[in-house]
Amino acid sequence: MSSEDLLARYAAAFMPNYGVPPVALVAGQGCVAHDADGKEYLDFIAGIAVSSLGHAHEALAEAVSNQIHSIAHTSNLFVNEQEVLLAEELRRLLGGEGRVFLTNSGTEANECALKLAIKYGKANGRSYFVAAENGFHGRSMGALSLTGKQSIREPFGPFALDVRFVPYGDADALRQAVTEECAAVFLEPTLGEGGVVPPPDGYLAAARQICDDTGALFVMDEIQSAIGRTGTWFAHQHDGIRPDILTLAKGLGGGLPIGACIGFGPYGELFAKGDHGSTFGGNPVACAAALAVLATIEKEGLLDNAARVGALLKDGLSAVEHPLLKGVRGRGLWLGVVLAEARAADVEAAARDAGFLVNAVQPNVIRLAPPLIVTPDQATALVNAFPSILDAVSPKEG
């Protein structure tokens, strides 16, 4: 089976919504992935920030294998120990508080948060929502209604919900948009799909205060940023705040599909019996994987590794002198490399040719989100290769 064969079969069998991806991956070990032709890549995107422990980590493989030999599915009709352990562990990492609902994905976690906010709004005479321009919260219809990326939103509107969008990072605009009729504010701690755009210092604290002043719920979408990616368990912890509702997904399962919605205080008790559900949410195999991810991050000191290697990567890339490189932004192992021209797709292709998997998340931004186990030597390898990658796209003059 060659890459060409597999990609052709993919093109014939699947809906064309993704286009045909450029690489057919068949195996991996740590931060290294292999395609169907045997070419080796250093993985600096980790399946869009999902593969926290890299590929084929023994702790993940053992946890999944053991669980699937015990019981693979229970549904929500019965309790399984793994889902209870995971909910308890998430509560511990969040300071012992919160009520958890487990989902299969990030967009489902945000659907849960949205339903909580709708129920809160109906009970308190609050009718609309506020979200950020260029924000991304998922592609299911409720989450899509909160997504401020026009290119993916407009083809499927109009939407049933009244969602008002404000510029991300503009506290004054947020303050003007949020009144006592607003049910909830949905924000990411940094715009992910929007190009890894951090807010100004103090913005999230200001958003917290605005919600406190008006009574709107503050929903923090940490689908991409949580589970150690920025050097803390949850990105909002850098700002010393706590949202009313928190959503998680990508890195939680280390490659197994799982998400979570956590409500704090009274907002974790808004649902009554029958208000919400999921057949696969809380699946014991996915929960066992998530428990293995959390335990391994703690055991191997990966929060510190994310902060340390992330700084090395950011500083190294920032020091590259090239007319196509404008700057590097972000925190930990969640970085956006900003280009001076809209050549991100070309840079992604050139990086791939050089043996690095990266992601052109915006026309002028490359997103980096490697596994949390990435080593200093692997980060240095990308830094050292980056000038020639940029040269391959836009040769330096002189």
Annotated binding residues for N(2)-acetyl-L-ornithine: 139, 278
d(CA 278, CA 3): 36
- The torsion defined by the Cα of 33, 34, 40 and 43, in degrees rounded to 10, comes to -20
Residue positions forming the annotated binding site = 106-107, 136, 139, 221-224, 278-279
d(CA 47, CA 357): 10
User: Cβ distance 335 to 313 under 8 Å?
Assistant: yes
DSSP state of 307: H
d(CA 155, CA 148): 13
Question: Shortest CA distance to 233 belongs to which of 67, 52, 107?
Answer: 52
Report how far apart, in Å, the C-alpha atoms of 362 and of each of 37, 285, 324, 348, 365 are. 29, 34, 15, 11, 5
User: Cβ distance 31 to 57 under 8 Å?
Assistant: no
Give the SS3 label for residue 48: helix
- Residue 178 exposed, middle or buried by CB count within 10 Å (0-12, 13-18, 19+): buried
* Pairing mode of beta strands 128-132, 163-166: parallel
Residue positions forming the annotated binding site for pyridoxal 5'-phosphate = 106-107, 136, 221-224, 279
d(CA 337, CA 329): 7
* Pairing mode of beta strands 182-187, 217-222: parallel
- Count of CA atoms in the C-beta half-sphere (13 A) of 168: 23
Give the SS3 label for residue 332: coil
User: Cβ distance 99 to 92 under 8 Å?
Assistant: no
Query: Tokens 């404008």 belong to which residue?
Result: 326
* Pairing mode of beta strands 182-187, 128-132: parallel
d(CA 297, CA 61): 15
Residue type, 317: L
